[in-house]
């Protein structure tokens, strides 16, 4: 899901001095979408409008047809499902970001961007059609009653959670629920005969949007990874930045890879912490002028001076593109990685009477240079848009920088005069190809059946007392995955009917070892954290990551850019 959500706050609406001509900025931009939807612009724009005569006649006709179907059609029909289907097909004639959520899906979509959800407070893993507790969340209701890492939850309120019932929909339906309500869990625990019973009182479970925030080995580079822009992202960012600055950070590596977006104002608030001046960060333009907004910088930011490198890839979309694109347009950060997704449309959420939700595209957004990063699409023919990333792969764009085809008509300039392009994502300043050398069918099957995570969980639980006696620094430098451990992994894979392929295994071996070590560290050290960080996991995984290692070498160039605003 790619989302860009815009919650309205006080925003000054005034002209902004940019380096591109007014006519260039207003050049019609071909726009598109992502897998789900975008910017929430406030829910007041549609109130009190008259419905046109054509719309009234069409809705009357639609209601008549539904009435005849319900009353006279030869078979029984669920008219609610017909309505949902017809709405979905109707919206396909518009743009790919306008989207309809039925009531249950609407609740899930909203919860992904809220500060938390109501549930029992566990991270889980499904292995061999069984739901295992990876860890009870610190301070949560499951931890309070004694649920442990490695427990297998067999039933919840007498409803099975194993076999074909061990699917996400069923799991969420049974474990999430209104805070204060009780759920009875039947649990299988290693070393105990029969099932253990626990009564868990559901509560508010916090969600965090920053996965990692730590000083790297040089003790001056702060690494921060944001997974999406939720209600709490800006506050999380400020808290972690304050700690890192006290620890001595001098430069920032901001990782937005795979970040699908979220609340627009959280993204612009973060940009404002990193740029000086009072110029525009983002503005929107639509048919209805009431949907037009400009957001300006102006706060005394936490890190307005100091080199910044931003990591992006084809999974970075919406709010991520506002952050990376605005920092690029300001000549404030060096962008490293691959071209971003390309999502530049604005959606408004409209909650319907039955709890369902319509997210309707009402405008386009533009970053400081005046460019839209929205990639092309054709109304009513969204198939090509949905497969656009596949086409990038076929063209070689993920591996060769010269394969990126920027539209020469969408040529803009940054504040410092560098050439940038609109109409299809943010093109990085430094390209880093995908590393697929370790990807094999054998590795993907290990992932698909959760073998690596399950082995790491078992190993961590079995050796917890020994591992906890050492510091993470010692573990990072001295702990090695042995051949004996790998043989156990291969045995688990064989039991799960994964056919062994020696050539593929050897290609993936070092990455398998890295994954196991990172997950063991996560199970040992992250369980005591109350801020959602997985620092130990990422310190291990990204120690050899090509984009990270490339980015670190670019800080001298980022520092020069920050000083003279030119590469």
Q: What is the DSSP string of 16-32?
A: ---SS-HHHHTSPPP--
Q: Per-domain residue ranges for the chain? A: 1-101+208-434, 116-206, 441-530
Contact present, 398 and 311 (Cβ < 8 Å): no
Instruction: Report residue 451: phi and psi, to 5°.
Output: -65, -45
Q: Which residues pair with 412 in a beta bridge?
A: 420
Dist CA 123 CA 12 (whole Å): 42
Topology given in CATH for the domain delimited by 1-101+208-434 = 2-enoyl-CoA Hydratase; Chain A, domain 1 (3.90.226)
Contact present, 322 and 268 (Cβ < 8 Å): yes
Q: Which residues contact 170 (CB under 8 A, 6 or more apart)?
A: 159, 161
Dist CA 81 CA 83 (whole Å): 5
Q: What is the pTM of this model?
A: 0.84
For 22, 61, 189, 323, 489, the CA distances from 309, given in Å and listed in that order, are 30, 56, 46, 12, 37
Hunting for tokens 């291990």 — which residue is that?
540
Instruction: Report residue 267: phi and psi, to 5°.
Output: -70, -45
Contact present, 260 and 389 (Cβ < 8 Å): no
Tokens standing for residue 372: 């839209």
The pLDDT tens digits for 496-545 are 999 999 999 999 999 999 999 999 999 999 765 678 899 999 999 999 89
Candidates 395, 417, 394; CA nearest to 405 is 395
Instruction: Report residue 447: phi and psi, to 5°.
Output: -65, -50
Strands 251-255 and 308-312, by their bridges, are parallel
- What is the residue-averaged pLDDT of the chain? 87
- Superfamily of domain 116-206 in CATH is PDZ domain (2.30.42.10)
At residue 564, the pLDDT reads 78
Candidates 455, 441, 439, 444; CA nearest to 495 is 455
Q: Helix axis angle, 264-274 relative to 233-246, nearest 10°?
A: 20
Tokens standing for residue 286: 């639509």
Question: Which 8-state DSSP code applies to residue 399?
Answer: T
Regions in the chain scoring below 70 on pLDDT: 1-53, 115, 138, 527-529, 565-567
Contact present, 476 and 540 (Cβ < 8 Å): yes
The pLDDT tens digits for 213-264 are 999 999 999 999 999 999 999 999 999 999 999 999 999 999 999 999 988 9
């Amino acid at each position: 899901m790619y989302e860009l959500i815009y919650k309205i706050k006080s925003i000054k609406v005034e002209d902004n001095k940019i380096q591109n001509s007014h006519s260039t900025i207003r050049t019609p931009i071909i726009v598109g979408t992502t897998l789900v939807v975008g910017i929430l612009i406030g829910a007041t724009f549609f109130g009190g409008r008259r419905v046109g005569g054509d719309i009234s006649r069409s809705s009357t006709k639609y209601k008549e047809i539904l009435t005849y179907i319900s009353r006279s059609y030869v078979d029984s029909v669920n008219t609610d499902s017909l309505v949902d289907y017809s709405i979905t097909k109707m919206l396909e004639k518009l743009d790919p970001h306008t989207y309809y959520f039925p009531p249950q899906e609407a609740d899930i979509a909203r919860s992904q961007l809220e500060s938390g959800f109501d549930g029992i407070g566990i991270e889980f893993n499904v292995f061999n059609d069984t739901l295992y507790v990876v860890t009870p969340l610190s301070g949560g209701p499951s931890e309070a009653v004694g649920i442990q890492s490695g427990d297998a939850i067999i039933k919840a309120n007498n409803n099975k959670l194993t076999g074909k019932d061990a699917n996400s929909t069923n799991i969420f339906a049974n474990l999430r629920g209104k805070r204060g309500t009780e759920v009875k869990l039947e649990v299988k625990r290693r070393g105990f005969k029969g099932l253990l019973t626990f009564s868990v009182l559901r509560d508010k479970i916090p969600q965090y949007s920053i996965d990692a925030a730590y000083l790297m080995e040089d003790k001056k580079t702060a690494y921060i990874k944001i997974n999406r822009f939720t209600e709490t992202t800006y506050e999380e960012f400020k808290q972690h930045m304050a700690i890192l600055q006290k620890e001595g950070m001098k430069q920032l590596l901001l990782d937005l890879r795979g970040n699908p977006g979220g609340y627009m104002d959280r993204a612009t608030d973060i940009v404002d912490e990193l740029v000086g001046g009072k110029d525009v960060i983002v503005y929107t333009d639509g048919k209805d002028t009431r949907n037009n907004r400009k957001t300006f910088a102006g706060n005394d930011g936490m890190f307005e001076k100091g080199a910044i490198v931003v990591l992006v890839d084809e999974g970075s979309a919406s709010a991520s593109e506002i952050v990376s694109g605005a920092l690029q347009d300001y000549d404030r950060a060096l962008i490293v990685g691959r071209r971003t997704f390309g999502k530049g449309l604005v959606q408004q959420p409209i909650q319907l009477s039955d709890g369902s939700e319509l997210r309707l595209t009402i405008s386009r957004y533009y970053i400081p240079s005046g460019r839209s990063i929205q990639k092309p699409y054709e109304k009513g023919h969204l198939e090509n848009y949905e497969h656009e990333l596949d086409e990038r792969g076929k063209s070689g764009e993920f591996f060769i920088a010269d394969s990126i085809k920027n539209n020469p008509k969408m040529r803009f300039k940054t504040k410092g005069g560098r050439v940038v392009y609109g109409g299809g994502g943010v093109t990085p300043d430094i390209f880093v190809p995908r590393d697929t050398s370790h990807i094999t069918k054998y590795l993907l099957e290990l992932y698909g059946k959760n073998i690596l995570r399950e082995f790491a969980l078992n190993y961590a639980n079995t050796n917890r007392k020994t591992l906890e006696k050492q510091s993470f620094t010692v573990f990072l430098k001295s702990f090695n995955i042995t051949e004996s451990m790998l043989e156990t992994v291969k045995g688990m894979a064989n039991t799960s009917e994964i056919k062994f392929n020696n050539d593929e295994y050897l290609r993936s071996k070092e990455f398998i070892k890295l994954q196991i070590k990172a997950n063991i560290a996560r199970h040992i050290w992250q369980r005591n954290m109350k801020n959602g960080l997985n620092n130990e996991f990422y310190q291990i995984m990204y120690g050899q990551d090509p984009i990270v290692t490339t980015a670190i070498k670019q800080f001298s160039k980022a520092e020069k850019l920050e000083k003279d605003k030119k590469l």
